[in-house]
């Protein structure tokens, strides 16, 4: 595989510098999008106290975010393929600023719903944007590591959000101040990306194999990729995998409090531990995927580890602090599968349809969040906290099945 663009020949050191710049900036953007996934959940206890909401209503906020993100993501893929990724990225970050303002001014459920909707709209383009830029600008030898860094920064965004939101709210004595901070974060990221906009210009990079593939399918109908079973199996993989993640992000803290009697302030940071363990898993997974010939086997081993740990936490047999640690450690398994997952989707994407495929497949992620959140919220309202962890473990097993069917569907 060539390590130069179709139009410009560059030295290996210059290409490495360009690769690292693009990977770092897209990683920052991806981390910001994941940070805004958590715009509302860390302060759910505050909203219960301030506005008298229950867990089912809080789950509906998560559903609103991800329904809008799912619908927008599928459409954003077409927009990215048509207009380019960079301008769509700046529009998305602008929505995060507006979402922060709406959350900070909310006086009840309606205001929080508006914030969730704006944040979901901002989140929708990120995966087609990110992967289009990475696939076009990063050289093939570094692409697996680019996917690994991309996943790590997402987990770090998830991990940082509870610490930031809860920390600012407690330090200032006013939860609304936390949303001033989130708006400033989005504005700062926009400023940096604008300053270094050449490094994320997808119109100035396309690998030779992508150019040739795109030319070969240019006469195909733009929806032709939807006929591929592998695309829909990847969609299913994301749906089930994200259903498990929803359980942890939104309800692991109250579930651990109910099952083990842990202090809610302590369990609020279990999500941060889960995401940090996931980041370590993704770092290792980036090297693992480069040395392994079976993406499906990687995914099966990693997710089975995570499922077993979550099922163990559901038993209520463990010492309380150990249970919190086990839930956090499960993030290592899901993170370990991340780079293999992204390479699996790249392999399923026809040349010239990167944005559309990533937009469609990753909308399964959003739909998984949207469907699972009210289900797990209802389990909490009905006094079944163990069901949160058991349900997450079962969803991971279904994701393993979907990943293995992708390989079968691609065989002649």
Collapsed DSSP state (helix, strand, coil) of residue 5: strand
Q: What is the pLDDT of residues 288-333, one digit of tens each?
A: 876 766 778 888 899 999 999 999 999 989 999 999 999 999 999 9
* DSSP collapsed to 3 states, 64-107: HHHHHHHHHHHHHHHHHHHHCCHHHHHHHHHHHHHHHHHHHHCC
Rounded Cα–Cα distance for residues 407 and 400 (Å): 12
Domains of the chain: 21-199+225-407 (1.20.1250.20)
Rounded Cα–Cα distance for residues 294 and 311 (Å): 26
What is this structure's pTM?
Answer: 0.73
**pLDDT computed for residue 351 by the predictor:** 59
Counted residue by residue, the chain has a size of 412
Q: What is the pLDDT of residues 199-241, one digit of tens each?
A: 888 776 554 444 444 444 455 555 656 667 777 888 888 899 8
Collapsed DSSP state (helix, strand, coil) of residue 11: coil
Rounded Cα–Cα distance for residues 93 and 33 (Å): 8
* Mean pLDDT value across the chain: 84
Collapsed DSSP state (helix, strand, coil) of residue 207: strand
Distance set, CA 143 to CA 289, 308, 356, 382 (Å)? 11, 31, 19, 46
Rounded Cα–Cα distance for residues 287 and 380 (Å): 38
Please report which residue ranges of 292-385 form alpha helices under DSSP H.
295-314, 320-348, 354-381
Residue 157 has pLDDT above 60, yes or no: yes
**pLDDT computed for residue 7 by the predictor:** 42
DSSP conformational letter for 402: H
């Amino acid at each position: 595989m060539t390590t130069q663009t179709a139009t410009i020949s560059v030295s290996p050191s210059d290409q490495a510098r360009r690769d690292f710049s693009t990977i770092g900036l897209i990683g920052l953007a991806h981390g910001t999008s994941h940070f805004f996934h958590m715009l509302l959940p860390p302060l759910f206890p505050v909203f219960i106290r301030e506005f008298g909401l229950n867990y089912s209503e809080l789950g509906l906020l998560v559903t609103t975010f991800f329904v809008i993100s799912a619908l927008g993501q599928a459409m954003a893929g077409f927009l990215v393929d048509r207009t380019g990724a960079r301008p769509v990225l700046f529009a998305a970050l602008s929505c995060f600023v507006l979402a922060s303002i709406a959350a900070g001014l909310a006086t009840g459920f309606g205001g929080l719903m508006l914030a969730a909707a704006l944040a979901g709209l901002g989140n929708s383009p990120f995966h087609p944007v990110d992967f289009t830029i990475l696939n076009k600008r990063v050289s093939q030898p570094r692409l697996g590591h680019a996917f690994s860094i991309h996943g790590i920064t997402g987990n770090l965004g998830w991990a940082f959000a509870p610490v930031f939101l809860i920390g600012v709210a407690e330090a200032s004595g006013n939860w609304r101040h936390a949303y001033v901070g989130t708006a400033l974060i989005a504005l700062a990221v926009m400023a940096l990306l604008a300053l270094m906009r050449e490094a994320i210009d997808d119109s100035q990079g396309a690998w030779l194999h992508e150019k040739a593939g795109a030319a070969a399918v240019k006469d195909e109908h733009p929806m032709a990729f939807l006929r591929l079973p592998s695309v829909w199996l990847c969609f299913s993989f994301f749906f089930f995998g994200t259903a498990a993640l929803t359980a942890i992000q939104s309800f692991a803290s109250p579930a651990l409090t109910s099952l083990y009697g842990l202090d809610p302030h302590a369990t609020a940071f279990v999500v941060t531990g889960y995401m940090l363990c996931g980041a370590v898993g993704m770092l290792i997974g980036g090297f693992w995927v480069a040395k392994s010939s079976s993406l499906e086997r990687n995914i099966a081993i990693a997710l089975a580890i995570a499922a077993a740990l979550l099922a163990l936490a559901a038993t209520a047999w463990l010492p309380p602090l150990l249970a919190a640690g086990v839930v956090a450690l499960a993030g290592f398994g899901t993170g370990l599968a991340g780079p293999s997952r992204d390479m699996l989707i790249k392999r399923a994407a026809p040349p010239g349809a990167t944005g559309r495929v990533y937009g469609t497949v990753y909308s399964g992620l959003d739909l998984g969040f949207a469907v699972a959140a009210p289900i797990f919220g209802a389990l909490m309202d009905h006094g079944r906290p163990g069901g949160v962890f058991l349900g997450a473990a079962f969803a991971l097993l279904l994701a393993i099945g979907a990943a293995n069917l992708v390989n079968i569907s691609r065989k002649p």
